[in-house]
Structure 1
Amino acid sequence: MRRRPISRLRKRLIALALAAATVTFGTTAAAPSASAAAGITDGGFEAGSLTGWTTSGITSVTTSGPHSGTYAAMVGSATPANTSSITQSFTAPAGSPALSFWYDVFCTDTVTYDWATATLVDTTTNTTTTVLAKTCTNGAGWKQVTKTLTPNDNYTLTLTTKDDDYPGDPTYTLYDDVALSGGVPTNDFSISASPASATVNAGASATSTVSTAVTAGGAQSVTLSASGLPSGATASFSANPITSGSSSTLTVSTASSTPGGTYPITVTGTGASATHTAPFPLTVNGTGPSLIQVSTDPFTDTDAQHATHVEPDTYSFGTTVVAAYQTGRVYGGGSSDVGWATSTDSGTTWTHGFLPGITVNSGGGSYAQVSDASVAYDAKHNVWLISSLPIDSSGGADGVLVNRSTNGGTTWGYPVKAVGFDGQGYDKNWTVCDNTATSPHYGNCYTEADITSSGNAEIMSASTDGGLTWSPAARRAGAPSGLGGQPVVQPNGNVVVPYSANGSSIAAFTSTNGGGSWGSPVTVATINSHGVAGGLRDGEGLPSAEVDGAGKVFVAWQDCRFRSGCPANDIVYSTSANGTGWSAVTRVPIDATTSGVEHMIPGLGVDRSTSGSTAKIGLYYYFYSHANCTASTCQMYVGFISSASGGSTWSAAQTVAGPMTMAQIANT
């Protein structure tokens, strides 16, 4: 970009005037320490921070377009800034060492005003080398710089972006994969545990073979230890210390009083020249709540896989809890009927049955199957609702049905047609009601679905009479495409609908007028997901949403962004006060990011009588003890974790049920 000289002169005079007022943009960290590390610390920035680097100006890490891995350093900003840099001191190894790094410059100006550069100071000889001359390119992609080093000398590397702070053409640089190579190897070793994790009942023991291997130089003595043990547990090794290249058997013994949960045990090997660790997450069963069977599958139709109940949904109001689920799952989709189970004493005792008037298998219905049960309660009209998708004999879901109960969920009427039945295909319905008495839309109920025959177009419908009648399906502004939306209602009556943008991201749209109109969607976050093993239909990309008593919306999903290389999923979440601005993605700390445990299909609950820093959150999820398993070896569990601080801190995770093999689970 070419500018008139008068603009440049005016800008510099203004900058000189401001300097007297000490105006500073960004931050400047302490000067580099005079001591140098033996090697580059986090040269790939995979810690998700600038650990080991001294920063100046505006610096950060980014997941946008790294050279390798998940992160790169971003020096400068996408908005105009001044000079920014990251610096690290190190000692070159013996042998024939070399330094290398990669850079990608985003500069729309000219090198006269904006540039990237890098300098290397040999602090042993007090000489400075410019290893990257001033560079201003845009869209050139990643380039590598390599520089030969003097063995054993101390160095300071500075990676810089110069931006003249001129509006309209910010300059920044991505740096990645800063590394040393070519040195003479010292004695080194690796350590691993096999199996890499274990699951036991309280009072039992788990074993793992801890193996070491010489990776450089010669063998050395390695002392083994284990940390992160749960309460009442002890660890021992069959041989300790060992010589690198050999192995030892680790035995972790739990007590009958050991609390349930998944514990991130770390095995550490300490040698004369190096220390390395291996994760060994241990899941302890047996201390979750006792299980109560609430229903059985009575059907015998040959289309279904019997003795199966899948995709449950529950809703509670006061002491009443209503659950709905598919019973007798059909491989091609749907089930023999939707079952219901109701407790009027907070889950102590239950009654159960099956919805009438939907399928040919129960209550005089005409449909072949039914799918996707969703439970809601309308406090204003004192009516419980279960919405579902009826499936015809050709496999098409014709619309959304709603069965109603006016006696506390213990008997259910025949369904009303809420949405669809217009020749189009529908999927992933979800129903919610406005139960805040002070809301201007108290008593409104809302149903979300998507139209599969129109590219998963998101639609909404509303009822003002306890689910007896429903408004025509309305498509959203901006024509969002997605599925799995879960509307929630804030105390002020606003409706927020998080949904999956077809697996690529979590998005949301809102209504502020009782469903009269709906806003355009906004992106909550992109999805980074690990493919779950075992051939499981794992709900990848589908959200679970809830709202606290002050209207703060929580949306959770499975995601691998916090695990280097995406080897397994965590449960993560984002929050919003209004449905349009969303927080950064936060990881639920069920176990360590190195645990190797696969987490999936979150079910989020929030106590609506709590809010803010004392909001009570409950999270159920499924997990494999080993992400890297097969259909014949995968072991599935149900886990639970909670927070009484709005997500600031979390309890120890509990194992509620399991293990279950894939043979015990419906095929779809």
Structure 2
Amino acid sequence: MPVRQRAALTTLLASGALLLSTATAHANVTLTQLSTDPFTNSSSQHATEVEPDTFSFGSTIVEAQQTGRFTDGGASDIGWATSTDSGATWTHGQLSGITQWQGGGSFQRVSDASVAFDPKHGVWMIASIPITASLGVPSVVVSRSTNGGTVWSNPVTVTTFADQGLDKNWIACDDTASSPFYGNCYVEFDDNGDGNRLYMSTSTDGGLTWGPAMRTGNSATGIGGQPVVQPNGTVIVPADNANETSVLAFRSTNGGASWSSTTTVASIKSHTDAGGIRSGPLPSAEIDGSGKVYVAWSDCRFRTGCKANDIVYSTTTNGTTWTAVTRVPIDATGSGVDHFLPGLAVDRTTSGSTAKLGLSYYFYPSTSCTASTCQLDVGFISSPNGGASWTAATQLAGPMSLSWLPSTTQGVMVGDYFSTSYAGGTARPAFEVAFAPSGGVFNQATYTPSAGLLAASHAHLSALTPAGADKPVPGVTSDHAASPVPLTSR
């Protein structure tokens, strides 16, 4: 297990200035706080931030997250943080024009932030899902920035559905100049009101207008889709099925004019994480410079009795044929450590056998814990060779008590998904860190390592079992029963 040490936290003030704080996290890296919850409305929980996503292009990184989490879905607004120097310094703020709490929006709350960049049109985008007072979800929207990610427009509507049940959107853009569909951007979402039916919508003008919502070739249902775009313009979308019992994938080879039927990447063997924390095996998908796609999720197939989750992954070069499920060797299979909520990164300036991978994740040092005894930590591990071998794991934050986390109808929450991005050769995960509440106010915000995380050289690899050497435990079945009701991640 990683050694727990004290680390100073660097707090980013609302003015954008940096100030060293005396707060302490039991981890072995210095962290920078990216943003803060400025809201005071009594209808949601403060100070809380959950579920960050990041995207990087060149030296710019943009992060977005829910700010001021409601117990029964969504947040007071979407917050953002932007760095133009590969994560050395940051500015931050809140999106305007979505909710009634910020900039004159009409919605009560908003959820599911996702970030992308369109270099053809010079536009950063944050996609999100506004929510009405009755918790209906009529639309997916995109906020745009044309100045590098520090000034954001009021949102543009991607789509509106009559049944008020849209969920779990994700956005990606074709950023390869030689691609025949360079500058196309793609938003994925599902219609929870129709069994989590999967949809895609495409923009060709920098997110100003969006095409019709289109189903997959087989009208598949699912949740948590994350589109990635290969250099040749092919869009590949890994997603879970609606009950999170298998990973699916579908694709478009014609710039979003049509979408294929889904293929099965792998079954999911899911351990229910202890303590009532909100978690699950939603995928985290990334792509290397050659177009090789990686998709990671939490899975217990390598653990006797399915008593804890590893982070596992599969890869493809075409979206239809996927490799066997491989375990990331964070620790030994008999360790009793439970891993979940992965945020995978691939350095897109690297590829193949020298692809740099970075993986952040949450974990319990002991899977046998309860709501009052579970200690929540954040870890990181990397590979300098496309997953052929991995470094020793590093603890980034924790331990956190579950009582420090905001509540939801599906358990206490740090997020349903997480993200890591490479910029300037270093990995920049974004994750939530909680401290003990004070005076009835939470203290949970988004952090990143202050100096970034380097992928180790081959000479400093972990002595743990190389990736791919483990075999699934025969007869392992999930201890998480498939829900007969479509799941929702709001």
Q: TM-score, normalised by structure 1?
A: 0.57
- Pick one of 375, 378, 381 that aligns with 1:635: 375
What is the CA–CA distance in structure 2 between the aligned matches of 1:202 and 1:352, rounded to whole Å? Answer: 28
User: Does the CA contact (< 8 Å) of 1:529 and 1:566 recur in 2?
Assistant: yes
- Equivalent residue of 1:534, what SS? helix
- Pick one of 238, 247, 266 that aligns with 1:525: 266
1:404 paired with 2:137, answer no
| Alpha-carbon distance, 1:200 to partner | 5.0
* Greater RCO, CA 8 A, separation 6+: 2
Letter in 2 for 1:486: Q
User: Does the CA contact (< 8 Å) of 2:281 and 2:340 recur in 1?
Assistant: no
User: Does the CA contact (< 8 Å) of 1:285 and 1:654 recur in 2?
Assistant: no
The equivalent of 1:534 in structure 2 is 275
The alpha-carbon distance between structure 1 residues 661 and 285, as it changes in their structure 2 partners (threshold 3 A), is closer
What is the CA–CA distance in structure 2 between the aligned matches of 1:519 and 1:666, rounded to whole Å? Answer: 39
The equivalent of 1:295 in structure 2 is 35
User: Does the CA contact (< 8 Å) of 2:66 and 2:75 recur in 1?
Assistant: yes
User: Cα deviation per residue 1:586-615 (whole Å; 9 max; x = unaligned)?
Assistant: 000000001111100000110111110000
| Alpha-carbon distance, 1:202 to partner | 4.8
Letter in 2 for 1:517: S
User: Does the CA contact (< 8 Å) of 2:284 and 2:344 recur in 1?
Assistant: yes
What is the CA–CA distance in structure 2 between the aligned matches of 1:479 and 1:523, rounded to whole Å? Answer: 14
User: Cα deviation per residue 1:593-644 (whole Å; 9 max; x = unaligned)?
Assistant: 0111110000011011111000001100000111111111111111000011
The equivalent of 1:447 in structure 2 is 187
1:476 paired with 2:216, answer yes
The equivalent of 1:458 in structure 2 is 198
- Equivalent residue of 2:403, what SS? helix
Matches within 5 A, 1:14-413: 200-202=3-5, 286-288=27-29, 290-413=30-153
User: Cα deviation per residue 1:41-83 (whole Å; 9 max; x = unaligned)?
Assistant: xxxxxxxxxxxxxxxxxxxxxxxxxxxxxxxxxxxxxxxxxxx
The equivalent of 1:546 in structure 2 is 286
What is the CA–CA distance in structure 1 between the aligned matches of 2:262 and 2:161, rounded to whole Å? Answer: 26
The equivalent of 2:449 in structure 1 is none
Q: Unpaired segments of 5 or more residues in structure 1?
A: 1-197, 204-283
Letter in 2 for 1:507: L
User: Cα deviation per residue 1:119-146 (whole Å; 9 max; x = unaligned)?
Assistant: xxxxxxxxxxxxxxxxxxxxxxxxxxxx
- Pick one of 297, 306, 311 that aligns with 1:571: 311
| Alpha-carbon distance, 1:666 to partner | 1.4
| Alpha-carbon distance, 1:398 to partner | 1.3
What is the CA–CA distance in structure 2 between the aligned matches of 1:652 and 1:513, rounded to whole Å? Answer: 41
- Equivalent residue of 2:315, what SS? strand
| Alpha-carbon distance, 1:396 to partner | 1.2
What is the CA–CA distance in structure 2 between the aligned matches of 1:666 and 1:631, rounded to whole Å? Answer: 13
The equivalent of 2:404 in structure 1 is 664
Q: Unpaired segments of 5 or more residues in structure 2?
A: 7-24, 409-490
- Equivalent residue of 1:637, what SS? strand
What is the CA–CA distance in structure 1 between the aligned matches of 2:389 and 2:56, rounded to whole Å? Answer: 25
| Alpha-carbon distance, 1:652 to partner | 0.6
What is the CA–CA distance in structure 2 between the aligned matches of 1:286 and 1:483, rounded to whole Å? Answer: 33
User: Does the CA contact (< 8 Å) of 2:312 and 2:327 recur in 1?
Assistant: yes
1:500 paired with 2:303, answer no
What is the CA–CA distance in structure 2 between the aligned matches of 1:302 and 1:557, rounded to whole Å? Answer: 35
| Alpha-carbon distance, 1:201 to partner | 2.5
Letter in 2 for 1:620: S
Letter in 2 for 1:551: G
User: Does the CA contact (< 8 Å) of 2:2 and 2:395 recur in 1?
Assistant: no
Aligned residues: 389
The equivalent of 2:447 in structure 1 is none
Letter in 1 for 2:263: V
| Alpha-carbon distance, 1:299 to partner | 0.5
User: Does the CA contact (< 8 Å) of 1:201 and 1:285 recur in 2?
Assistant: yes
- Pick one of 148, 151, 157 that aligns with 1:417: 157
User: Cα deviation per residue 1:447-501 (whole Å; 9 max; x = unaligned)?
Assistant: 0000011110000000000000000100111111111000000010000000000
User: Does the CA contact (< 8 Å) of 2:2 and 2:394 recur in 1?
Assistant: no
What is the CA–CA distance in structure 2 between the aligned matches of 1:533 and 1:654, rounded to whole Å? Answer: 22
Letter in 2 for 1:509: F
- Equivalent residue of 2:306, what SS? coil
Letter in 2 for 1:529: S
- Equivalent residue of 2:164, what SS? coil
User: Cα deviation per residue 1:392-437 (whole Å; 9 max; x = unaligned)?
Assistant: 0001111101000000001100001012243431000000000000
What is the CA–CA distance in structure 1 between the aligned matches of 2:387 and 2:404, rounded to whole Å? Answer: 34
What is the CA–CA distance in structure 2 between the aligned matches of 1:567 and 1:423, rounded to whole Å? Answer: 39
What is the CA–CA distance in structure 1 between the aligned matches of 2:155 and 2:348, rounded to whole Å? Answer: 29
The equivalent of 2:21 in structure 1 is none
Of stretches 416-425 and 444-453 in structure 1, the one that deviates more from structure 2 is 416-425
- Equivalent residue of 2:159, what SS? strand
The equivalent of 1:231 in structure 2 is none
The equivalent of 2:460 in structure 1 is none
What percent of counterpart residues are identical? 62
Letter in 2 for 1:464: T
| Alpha-carbon distance, 1:199 to partner | 7.0
RMSD: 1.3
- Equivalent residue of 2:193, what SS? helix
User: Does the CA contact (< 8 Å) of 1:325 and 1:339 recur in 2?
Assistant: yes
Letter in 2 for 1:644: P
- Equivalent residue of 1:321, what SS? strand
The equivalent of 2:10 in structure 1 is none
What is the CA–CA distance in structure 2 between the aligned matches of 1:400 and 1:441, rounded to whole Å? Answer: 23
Letter in 1 for 2:155: P
User: Cα deviation per residue 1:161-208 (whole Å; 9 max; x = unaligned)?
Assistant: xxxxxxxxxxxxxxxxxxxxxxxxxxxxxxxxxxxxx775359xxxxx
What is the CA–CA distance in structure 2 between the aligned matches of 1:368 and 1:286, rounded to whole Å? Answer: 37
Letter in 2 for 1:459: Y
User: Does the CA contact (< 8 Å) of 2:216 and 2:260 recur in 1?
Assistant: yes
- Pick one of 236, 243, 255 that aligns with 1:514: 255
User: Does the CA contact (< 8 Å) of 1:401 and 1:417 recur in 2?
Assistant: yes
Matches within 5 A, 1:602-617: 602-617=342-357
- Equivalent residue of 1:565, what SS? helix
The equivalent of 1:54 in structure 2 is none
| Alpha-carbon distance, 1:550 to partner | 0.6
